[in-house]
Amino acid sequence: MAETQAQPRHAELGLTDQDVLDMYRAMLLARAVDERMWLMQRAGKIAFIISGQGHEGAQVATTWPLRRNHDWLAPYYRSIASAITFGMTAEDIITAHLAKGDDVSSGGRQMPGHYGGAPYNIVSLSSPVGTQVLHAVGIAMGAWARGEDVVALTSYGEGTANQGEVHEAMNFAGVHRLPVIFVCENNGYAISVPLEKQVGGLSVAARAQGYGFPGVTVDGDDPLACYAAAKEAHERGRRGDGPTLIEARVVRLTSHSSDDDQRRYRDPAEVEALKQQDPLVGFGRQLRELGVLTDELDQQLRAEAKAEINEASRRAEARPEPDVSAAERHVYADGEA
């Protein structure tokens, strides 16, 4: 009897070679956008930057099962890779950070890191952490009331998981069995405060049990593990079985923001060790082992990301500044629509 060949891990999850390469490509692009924006911030062109470096694998993979222009995303300030996966372009993101007049997020009104765009079903966040979690639950509630097959995904950090509204949102979603995916990107710090000083019990995922739905912890450096959890959560939501909480354990490779210096509160050896957990490196290695990626292709994909970011920056910088006549737009009901 012929032995059945075990399928590669991504194929078992229903992903093609092209799918995983596209995931890797999205991660590379997100990193390239991120790095470029640090340079622009240091050059005085962007007010500040909150980096997504280290979170890209979890973000791309958890957003991947969502249907673009159909489902909804209520992300947070590190969500560069989630926004890219859901349709925002590198140019959109840089344009928003430069606060240009025709920025798709807000016409130059929002702060850096407030990803959003009506054409993409991405809801821009409010600056108090955790408010986007309520927005996602409201979107899911609205869709349910209209009988629509829509899933809302929201993301936030583990520090934010302790906010009152996050508990209220999860409880409400649990009671009404709403199609929401809560993605907590646990990077071990809330600015300078380490996990053990902010999360009692140290597990965010365990809290879901109290609200009556599953909570899972996944290795956020492993995109395929994140994808498997998100795919299941998406299917659950669509079946009417309610929400899922995914706690993705990730690393924050940079300081909290460009206004912070993590060397003041993190051991240099710990920061150095983080590089071993860079999801771009790990996923690249995994794809080589699966026989999907070669050194040559890797170089080509990196060159393409670089070319894209160069072009995106050039075009974004050339866009017009906001006109003073539009200052009241979206502020008063009788202003220009």
Does 128 interact with ligand TPP (rule: CB under 6 A)?
yes
Looking at 132, 160, 217, 254, which residue binds ligand TPP (CB under 6 A)?
A: 160
Contact between 220 and Mg ion (CB under 5 A)? no
Check if the beta carbon of residue 87 is closer than 8 Å to that of residue 115.
no
215-219 and 193-194 beta bridge pairing: unpaired
Rounded to the nearest 10 degrees, how much is the dihedral formed by the CA atoms of 126, 127, 133, 136? Answer: 20
Residue 158, interface with ligand TPP (CB under 6 A)? Answer: yes
Q: Does 281 bind ligand TPP (CB under 6 A)?
A: no
Answer for the pair 214, 208: CB distance below 8 angstroms, yes or no: yes
Minimum CB separation from Mg ion for residue 192, in Å?
11
| Residue range at the interface with ligand TPP (CB under 6 A); choices 29-37, 150-158, 267-275, 283-291 | 150-158
Cβ-contact 34, 279 below 8 angstroms? no
Among all residues, whose Cβ is closest to ligand TPP? 157
**Given the rule CB under 6 A, which of 23-31, 34-42, 185-193, 238-246 is the region that contacts ligand TPP?**
185-193
Do residues 191 and 260 lie in contact, with contact meaning Cβ atoms separated by under 8 Å?
Answer: yes
In the structure encoding, which two tokens stand for residue 50, read together? Answer: 């909150």
Footprint on residues 256-275 left by ligand TPP (CB under 6 A): 256
159 touches ligand TPP (CB under 6 A): yes
Distances (CA, A) of 306 to 32, 36, 253: 7, 10, 20
Q: Provide the minimum distance between the beta carbon of 158 and ligand TPP in the complex, in angstroms, as a whole number.
A: 5
Residue placing its CB nearer to ligand TPP in the complex, 168 or 241: 168
User: What is the residue type of 221?
Assistant: D
Give the active site residue among 67, 167, 265, 329.
Answer: 265
Residue closer to ligand TPP by CB (options 121, 187) is: 187
* 256 annotated active-site: yes
Choose from Mg ion, ligand TPP, none: what does 109 bind? Cβ within 5-8 Å by kind: none
Q: How far apart are CA 201 and CA 14, in angstroms?
A: 35
- The answer to whether 187 contacts ligand TPP (rule: CB under 6 A) is yes
The yes or no reply on residue 191 touching ligand TPP (CB under 6 A) is yes
- Asked whether 85 and 65 are in contact (CB, 8 A), the reply is no
Instruction: Quote the least distance from Cβ 190 to ligand TPP, whole Å.
Output: 3
Binding flag, residue 190, ligand TPP (CB under 6 A)? yes
Distance CA 208, CA 244 (A): 8
Q: Is 202 in the site for ligand TPP (CB under 6 A)?
A: no
> For 153, left (φ over 0), alpha (ψ -120 to 50), or beta?
beta
How many alpha carbons fall within 13 Å on the CB side of residue 309? 22
Q: Print burial letters for 144-179: b (CB count within 10 Å at least 16), e (below 16).
A: beeeeebbbbbbbbbbbbbbebbbebbebbbebbbb
Q: 332: phi > 0 → left, psi -120 to 50 → alpha, else beta; which?
A: beta
Instruction: Decide: is 157 part of the binding site for Mg ion (CB under 5 A).
Output: yes
Task: Give the nearest distance from C-beta 200 to ligand TPP in angstroms.
Answer: 14
Q: Tell me the two tokens of residue 143.
A: 């869709």
Yes or no: say if 63 and 153 are a contact pair by the CB < 8 Å rule.
Answer: yes
Q: How far is the CB of 77 from ligand TPP (least distance, A)?
A: 7
Rounded distance between C-alpha atoms, residue 41 and residue 49, angstroms: 7
In whole angstroms, the minimum distance from the beta carbon of 304 to ligand TPP comes to 28
Whether 120 is catalytic: no
Measured CA to CA, the distance from residue 88 to residue 80 in angstroms comes to 9
Among ligand TPP, Mg ion, none, the one that 112 touches (CB under a kind-dependent 5 to 8 A) is none
Q: How many residues in the shown chain lie near ligand TPP by CB under 6 A?
A: 15
- Supply the residues annotated as catalytic: 252, 256, 265
**Contact positions toward ligand TPP, by CB under 6 A?**
78, 127-129, 156-160, 185, 187, 189-191, 256
**Contact positions toward Mg ion, by CB under 5 A?**
157-159, 187, 189-190
